[in-house]
Amino acid sequence: MRIIIDTNGNKCIKIESTDFNSGRGFSIQTNGNLPFIHKNFSIETKSKDMKKIDVCVAECEIMDYITEYGTPKQQMKVLGYIPKKG
């Protein structure tokens, strides 16, 4: 996973196919969707500079977002299953 700036200038997190060994990657805009990541990470952030707790919180934020709003394909890639709604 890495932080990118999309063509419209929005900060996004890119989840690449190599992160989960399956298919195409996808990206999520961070502003409003992933507030912890938006505030605490930048495109200049290197993995060696990240605190372990920050990485854990970021991963949880991504998992929660994908559980709630992800497509079934995204949920299978990231979570390994499709959560039941309701």
- Give Cβ neighbours of residue 74 (< 8 Å, ≥ 6 apart): 26, 66
Q: Is the pTM of this model over 0.85?
A: no
Q: Is residue 41 a contact partner of residue 31, using CB atoms and an 8 Å limit?
A: no
**Phi, psi of 13, rounded to the nearest 5 degrees:** -105, 125
Which pLDDT tens digit goes with each residue over 7-56?
A: 998 999 888 877 666 678 889 999 889 999 888 887 776 666 677 778 88
